[in-house]
Chains A and B, each alone.
Chain A
Amino acid sequence: MANTSKELEIQDSAARAAQLAGAELEGYQQTTEDLVGEKLVLNMGPSHPATHGVLRLILELDGEEITKADPDVGFLHRGDEKIAENMQYNQFVPYTDRLDYLAPLANNVAYALAVEKLMGWELPARGQTVRTICCELARISAHLLGIGAYAMDVGAMTVFLYTFTQRETIYNLSEQLTGARFTTSYTRVGGQTRDIPEDFLDSLSKFCDEVLPCIDEVDTLLSRNKIFLDRTRDIGVISKEDAITWGLSGPNLRGSGIEHDLRKSNPYLDYERFDFDVVVGSSGDCYDRYLVRMEEMRQSVRILRQCIADMPDGPVNVADSKEMLPEKDRVLMNMEELIHHFILVTQGLDAPEGEVYFGAENPKGELGFFIHSKGGGVPYRMKIRSPSFINLSILPQLLEGSMMSDTVAILGSLDFVMGECDR
């Protein structure tokens, strides 16, 4: 029997599928995707434990690897910017509470400063220090929650409860200061609703003593924990260039090693008076962003202690008898004050025409208010630059190519608040 040889063509699965697709085989439909496997589209959120609120992520998964991430924001959109056009400047203060609802005090201050910039006002020394205290308390509060939630996302639930215990104290302080625990609405244009209570500074200094051991405790639980390091080091790396290109701000920007802090680079309030360091990371990964937040809390405590030690006396509000609400007992007794009160309440303060932008270094980054005024008591247009929204814009790039489990670490490390993102 003669030997015959036959050449066998062995193709890979994709080529075979292409061939099959070319040859029209009846009842045998096989497409390329069937043979090389298909990607899984996973809808994460808007109601999902890791997305901190109502962020929706549409992930395309190849096994455990993310090939495409598509964030979908806007589930918490309330039209704050439009609302602002329909109310007086002071009436909008409660809406700022609901932007970054983890740091309402800082939002109040940022908004008040923006309007005051429009009015051309500057607060007396004591008022400024009071606001600095507000901002730094808010920063500690927001970072405590940010780190707690971050740790919970990567599985260390206990850290979350430790940090929450401290936040409870901050809520108590804020209750003492403003009368409200959560929606503080503390500032008004040109000042605060009231001066700090008598024993407030004592409670504050007690808090400063208590929060540092808590931060150290978190440090011992996480900072050198092998598992935590594995989960966060070299994960979600944002290069310096990317951080600038995407307009990141706050700890996310500083985590990438850029020394930019509005408190230093564009000093407002009386930050120039205080000694504190701008915390920067080196590699821009999730771990660096965690470290930056940890250290920023310590720096905030440092500022708070200086505020307590060097609290100026005097009034807390701008002394402008025309545009500021007069004292209540004088309203009840004097005609002049009654008229002022009536006009201010019904028409609002009389802002000059013009456009101003003011950005404050909030816990999440630069919270900016752009106010376009055509005079009168309401803004013509107000734009809120929300740091969370802009920090989230880098998400598709960060998530692509990472593992499914990295999503939670990256989301946690970006530390966003949807209330602010969606406005």
Chain B
Amino acid sequence: MDWYIILAATIKIVVFVFLVTLPLVAMSVWAERRVSAAIQDRVGPNRVGPAGLLQPVADGIKFLLKEDFTPNHVRKSFYWLAPALTMIPSLLTCAVIPFGSQLFGEKMVIADLDVGPLFVFAVASLTVYGIVLAGWASNSKYPFLGSVRSTSQMISYEISLGLSIVPLLMIYGELNLGRIVMEQAQNGWALLPLWGEGLSVKGWLLAVPLFISFIVFTTSMFAETNRLPFDLPECETELVAGYHTEYSSMKFALFFLGEYAAMIIGSGLAVTLFFGGWSLPFGWLTPESLDAEVPFWHGLIHIGVFFGKVILFIIFFIAVRWTLPRFRYDQLMKLGWVVFFELALANVILTALLLMWLK
């Protein structure tokens, strides 16, 4: 049966990563431009294909055809390694996110790990190496400043990011993302405990720390993905383009895509943890258990629901970016260490107390 597992995994990787996530990255670039245009009373790209939908393709072709230029003053090996190091971890984290219930009796997750969130954080934190290397290898001042900022920012916010989901893991007593989703599907989403066991005093009380978790998680996610209001590493008005100033052509595109991929994975994780992943509200079309058989069309709907939620979350990301100004570097660090870190810690204690009291 080994070949069967390998085949299934390969199909899932190819379909989910290369046929869904990567095009979704491209489409989110398109969405970014169209949504920002809508916010700013503009039209946005609408020339290539219907409603400009082929714009990402045109962009991609342009990136590929540009001269792959390496400046003389850079450290070549690191300079070449850096874009790959930002892109790969983002795609690796796809592995543990359940993007659907079942299809042909096969769980819709590439690797059904029992340490899902830990794996995500462990791998996602590797992105920082790409940025450090990019800034260092560029051997230029603006990228250097950008990468220094980015490094400290990502390291700081990783802590609150990690801490923020601890209450959630405590409440569900579970590190397997698939089972967390199942739990939410049956007993109310983390932020919407309106059915199943969630519809109780306990469920409502526990929604409080979960909500705090969500705030801290989302904010840290913004910081982790270097999106405005936390886009200091590349804030264009001061640091030109931050750590990727010296990059062009496809190498720049990799940074660009890596960032959007991180945003999508972040959204996926947020949806999985707080909005019930692939499940519909009020337990509609929810299977009895993880191993129960799911009709084919239910499976399809679940996949659609997951990506629908992810897209909504991405639109939220975009709307925030085009509304808020950007923090100053020291204010950002202060916010990270003084506000969010403490908040996340206090939240862990609050959850522990609540759980003890409700037991």
Residues of A bordering B, CB below 8 Å: 40, 42-43, 48-50, 64, 151-158, 161-162, 165, 221-222, 225, 227-228, 230-231, 403-408
The answer to whether B328 and A153 have CB atoms under 8 Å apart is no
User: Can you show 15 pairs from A to B with CB atoms below 8 A apart?
Assistant: A42-B145, A43-B141, A48-B240, A64-B330, A155-B325, A156-B323, A158-B36, A162-B40, A225-B324, A227-B327, A228-B325, A230-B328, A231-B327, A231-B331, A405-B329
List B contacts of A408 (CB < 8 A): 237-238
What separation, in Å, do the CA atoms of A50 and B238 have in the docked complex?
A: 6
The answer to whether B141 and A227 have CB atoms under 8 Å apart is no
What separation, in Å, do the CA atoms of A151 and B228 have in the docked complex?
A: 14
State how many angstroms separate the Cβ of A250 from the closest Cβ of chain B: 23
List A contacts of B40 (CB < 8 A): 157-158, 161-162
CB-based A-B contact count at 8 angstroms: 77
What separation, in Å, do the CA atoms of A64 and B240 have in the docked complex?
A: 16
The answer to whether B238 and A227 have CB atoms under 8 Å apart is no
What separation, in Å, do the CA atoms of A18 and B121 have in the docked complex?
A: 46
Besides A42-B142, A221-B323, 6 new A-B residue pairs in contact (Cβ under 8 A), listed by A number: A43-B141, A155-B324, A156-B325, A404-B329, A405-B328, A405-B329
The answer to whether A49 and B41 have CB atoms under 8 Å apart is no
Answer yes or no: B236 CB below 8 A from chain A CBs: yes
State how many angstroms separate the Cβ of B228 from the closest Cβ of chain A: 6
The answer to whether B42 and A405 have CB atoms under 8 Å apart is no
State how many angstroms separate the Cβ of B147 from the closest Cβ of chain A: 14
Answer yes or no: B98 CB below 8 A from chain A CBs: no
Answer yes or no: B115 CB below 8 A from chain A CBs: no
Name B's interface SS.
Answer: loop
The answer to whether B236 and A230 have CB atoms under 8 Å apart is no
What separation, in Å, do the CA atoms of A49 and B237 have in the docked complex?
A: 5
What separation, in Å, do the CA atoms of A176 and B309 have in the docked complex?
A: 50
List A contacts of B39 (CB < 8 A): 158
Chain B, 123-160, CB within 8 A of any chain A CB = 141-142, 145
What separation, in Å, do the CA atoms of A153 and B238 have in the docked complex?
A: 8
Name A's interface SS.
Answer: helix
List A contacts of B325 (CB < 8 A): 151, 154-156, 222, 225, 227-228, 231
The answer to whether A155 and B41 have CB atoms under 8 Å apart is no
Instruction: For A41, give the chain B residue with the smallest CB separation.
Output: B141
Answer yes or no: B178 CB below 8 A from chain A CBs: no
List A contacts of B329 (CB < 8 A): 64, 403-405
The answer to whether B327 and A158 have CB atoms under 8 Å apart is no
State how many angstroms separate the Cβ of B138 from the closest Cβ of chain A: 14
- Of B228, B229, B231, B238, which contacts A404 at CB under 8 A? B238
The answer to whether B324 and A230 have CB atoms under 8 Å apart is no
- Of A40, A151, A156, A231, which contacts B328 at CB under 8 A? A231
What separation, in Å, do the CA atoms of A326 and B324 have in the docked complex?
A: 56
State how many angstroms separate the Cβ of B325 from the closest Cβ of chain A: 4
What separation, in Å, do the CA atoms of A50 and B241 have in the docked complex?
A: 12
What separation, in Å, do the CA atoms of A165 and B232 have in the docked complex?
A: 28
List B contacts of A153 (CB < 8 A): 237
Instruction: For A155, give the chain B residue with the smallest CB separation.
Output: B326
What separation, in Å, do the CA atoms of A407 and B145 have in the docked complex?
A: 15
State how many angstroms separate the Cβ of B227 from the closest Cβ of chain A: 11
List B contacts of A48 (CB < 8 A): 240
List A contacts of B231 (CB < 8 A): 155
Instruction: For B322, give the chain A residue with the smallest CB separation.
Output: A158
Instruction: For A65, give the chain B residue with the smallest CB separation.
Output: B330
What separation, in Å, do the CA atoms of A407 and B324 have in the docked complex?
A: 19
What separation, in Å, do the CA atoms of A222 and B326 have in the docked complex?
A: 12
The answer to whether B238 and A407 have CB atoms under 8 Å apart is yes
Instruction: For A409, give the chain B residue with the smallest CB separation.
Output: B328
State how many angstroms separate the Cβ of A182 from the closest Cβ of chain B: 21
Answer yes or no: B190 CB below 8 A from chain A CBs: no
List B contacts of A404 (CB < 8 A): 145, 238, 329
The answer to whether B237 and A161 have CB atoms under 8 Å apart is no
Instruction: For B39, give the chain A residue with the smallest CB separation.
Output: A158
Chain B, 32-68, CB within 8 A of any chain A CB = 36, 39-42
List A contacts of B142 (CB < 8 A): 42
What separation, in Å, do the CA atoms of A42 and B146 have in the docked complex?
A: 13
What separation, in Å, do the CA atoms of A423 and B15 have in the docked complex?
A: 61
State how many angstroms separate the Cβ of A65 from the closest Cβ of chain B: 10
List A contacts of B207 (CB < 8 A): none
What separation, in Å, do the CA atoms of A403 and B324 have in the docked complex?
A: 20
B303-334 Cβ-contact flags toward A at 8 Å (1 or 0): 00000000000000000001111111111000
Instruction: For B331, give the chain A residue with the smallest CB separation.
Output: A230
On whether A157 and B238 interact (CB within 8 A), knowing A64-B330, A404-B329, the answer reads no
Answer yes or no: B235 CB below 8 A from chain A CBs: yes
The answer to whether B330 and A152 have CB atoms under 8 Å apart is no
State how many angstroms separate the Cβ of B32 from the closest Cβ of chain A: 12
What separation, in Å, do the CA atoms of A49 and B326 have in the docked complex?
A: 16
The answer to whether A155 and B141 have CB atoms under 8 Å apart is no
The answer to whether A161 and B41 have CB atoms under 8 Å apart is yes
